[in-house]
Every structure is written in structure tokens, then in C-alpha cells.
Amino acid sequence: MLFIKKLYEDYKSDVFYYLVSITHDSDLSEDLTSETFLAAIKSISRYKGNADIKTWLFSIARYKWYEHLRKRKNEVSFDDLAEIYIQQNEDIENRLYRSEIAKMCLTVLDKEPEQARNIVKMRIEGFSYYEIAKRYGISESSARVINFRTKKRIRQILEKRYGDMSGDNF
């Protein structure tokens, strides 16, 4: 019982702020944080220690977020996840524009080398650099650099095709 209390106290803020970063909704993030820790308590016996405990909690939180989206909308498409990945606080009128940019980004991304494409897709799906590095046998720094350079190339290609995108947060 003490372990669970310490786990909650040590990681509650991290999980909450992680959820706020992907939901952009502090009330929803509070609910999802509670659901995350409930799920963690139920599944603590299955935690193998292969990943950092924080990474494990973030993956549960990410799953709870996706579960919430699925309840709201029957299906969450990869396009929706890509839109979440590139968006930052935005107003309603920009949503359609951002959705179109996300689709164009994915089209350009499909032409990137396989490893770079997969790393960016993992980031879109919410994987940490730690998880990506483990999967590809590279350092976290390398995963960050590959993600950064790939996003930069995509931005340059899209700017050549569609003009200046300096107002975008991609």
C-alpha cells in the first residue's frame, strides 16, 4: 500500500502535465490522471520493470486518452493522432486547416526512409524517445535528432509546395 501511495505522490504531477500536453484540457486531464493510477494499481503485478516506471505510467495515460477519444468518437484514425501531434493550443477556425496540414504531412512522411518514418509515427502515437530508442537500439538523442530532422524536411517540402508555414507549430 505504501508503494502505491509513493507511486501516486511521485508521479501524479508528471502524468497530469503529460495528459494536459496531449488533451489541452485540465479538467479532462485530472479525470484521466485518476483513471491512469487506477489502471496502474490494477495492473501493477504485470509491470515487469522493462521500462522506466514513468514511461509505463505515461503509456497507461496515453491509452486512457485514446480510450476517451474512442468513447467520444467510434474510431480514432491515424490522421486524428497526427493532428494531435502537430497541434498546440489552437482556436476552432484553425482546426480544418490543421487537419489538412496533418494529411499533407503524412503524405510527405510516407516518402521518408523507413526508420525516420517509423520514429515520427511512434512520436505521433505518443511514444517517448526512451521507448523509441529501445525499439531501434539507438540513443534517445539519436531518436530526437531523427525526429527533428524528419519534421524539418517535411516542413521544407510543404513550404516549397504550399508557401510559408511559419505560423504553424509543426
Q: Which three cell numbers stand for residue 40?
A: 496502474
Q: Which three cell numbers stand for residue 125?
A: 502515437
Nearest to 122 by CA among 168, 29, 49, 55: 55
Q: What is the DSSP string of 49-67?
A: SSS-HHHHHHHHHHHHHHH
Same CATH topology for 2-72 and 78-162: the answer is no
Task: Tell me the pTM.
Answer: 0.46
Segment among 73-82, 127-136, 137-146 with least mean pLDDT? 73-82
Nearest to 13 by CA among 130, 129, 21, 51: 21
- Cα–Cα dist 98/168, whole Å: 8
- Cα–Cα dist 109/126, whole Å: 17
Domain 78-162 indexed as CATH 1.10.10? yes
Q: Check if the beta carbon of residue 98 is closer than 8 Å to that of residue 105.
A: no
Angle between helices 95-109 and 114-124 (to 10 degrees): 150
* Length of the chain, in residues: 170
Mind listing the pLDDT tens digit for each residue in 6-55?
A: 888 999 999 998 888 888 888 888 999 999 999 988 888 777 777 788 88
pLDDT at 139: 92
Expressed in angstroms, the distance from the first to the final Cα of the chain is 43
CATH domain 2-72 topology: Rna Polymerase Sigma Factor; Chain: A (1.10.1740)
Spell out the domain ranges in the chain.
2-72, 78-162
